[in-house]
Structure 1
């Protein structure tokens, strides 16, 4: 068990480091935008977790679409130069919290879920907007994000509840490691 947790921690730390190398460090095009969410463990896990968690929320089938819409708004704020203090730590904490929610099979009121998911998406979008400010990059990033969020949604639907909870625990642990190294 210790070896597994150590491996996850090391993978998480290295993925986060490669995902956020600063503005201007990435090529700007559709493929750069599309690849970006897959190269950062924090973004990958958060988007999959949002999709999987939203399946079990009452009256909230629109949560994945809300996340994507608010991701776009967050990207616009980042591209416009708005800097969110503690952004990397905030992103890591969104991963941890989504993991906890999955692991606990937590059900929240629809309005609370929408506000929380929106805040998470704005943080992730803001980081992406700083790194990939061109519109064509944003289109690629949104396409990949759609795949990840709705892929997570599908996994949440077809996976046994215990597997979803175990995945949530692993995601929470990864988020804690990311927050500690941010």
Structure 2
């Protein structure tokens, strides 16, 4: 006689409650949009040290930027050429800053930044991800807009301060992406579940942050 398997809703409830809580936290901490992040209290850096500190802080104090950098690091997990994905992003971000300083307009930059967080979070959720070349290209395109937003904080600074700023935000972004890659690699070995892996949970949170920033940018 064939046994009928009963669906145990209460067994799955804690797992999905945790997912909902993570997404909720992501939405709550993303309530304040990051239109122009200034780590120097709104002042333009006036020396190498201030420029470097501003560059280090800028990608961290903007949650939309920070979430994207984590996403691009996590996407490198398990890929042979994974290190090139965040590398393409940080190099393009420098170009994006240069575009801003040349007074070339990149329209709807904040909207594109939010959409990039949603898209890369969604790629983490998907089982079948695009190949690393496409991910690197998409990351580079996003990097232009992220870098363009970074450029707002350095307008009017001298070449020394500009060099320090670019050095700071390049180092911190690749450092955060690399840390996310290492942590994600370890976490996927320990915390994967049958239904939702660690990377998928992270993708849901990152996408939820992007949705909140997108709504704020549009409104």
TM-score normalized by the length of structure 2: 0.73
Q: Is the contact between residue 86 and residue 136 of structure 2 (CA under 8 Å) also seen in structure 1?
A: no
Give the corresponding residue for 1:53. 75
Give the corresponding residue for 1:178. 213
1:11 aligns with 2:52: no
As a proportion of its length, which structure holds more helix?
1
Larger Rg: 2
Q: Is the contact between residue 102 and residue 167 of structure 1 (CA under 8 Å) also seen in structure 2?
A: yes
Equivalenced residue count is: 179
Q: Partners in 2 of 1:107 and 1:4 — Cα distance?
A: 23
Unmatched runs of 5 consecutive residues or more in structure 1: none
- Mark the CA change 1:26 to 1:91 in structure 2 (over 3 Å): closer, same or farther: farther
Deviations 1:98-141 (A, max 9, x none): 11111114421333222211101111111112223422212111
Q: Cα distance, 1:34 vs. partner?
A: 0.5
Alignment partner for residue 36 of structure 2, among 12, 17, 20? 20
- Mark the CA change 1:125 to 1:7 in structure 2 (over 3 Å): closer, same or farther: same
TM-score normalized by the length of structure 1: 0.87
Give the corresponding residue for 1:99. 121
- Mark the CA change 1:136 to 1:151 in structure 2 (over 3 Å): closer, same or farther: same
- Mark the CA change 1:128 to 1:57 in structure 2 (over 3 Å): closer, same or farther: same
Q: After superposition, where does 1:164-175 map in structure 2 within 5 Å?
A: 164-175=199-210
Aligned CA RMSD, in angstroms, stands at 2.2
Unmatched runs of 5 consecutive residues or more in structure 2: 1-16, 46-50, 156-161
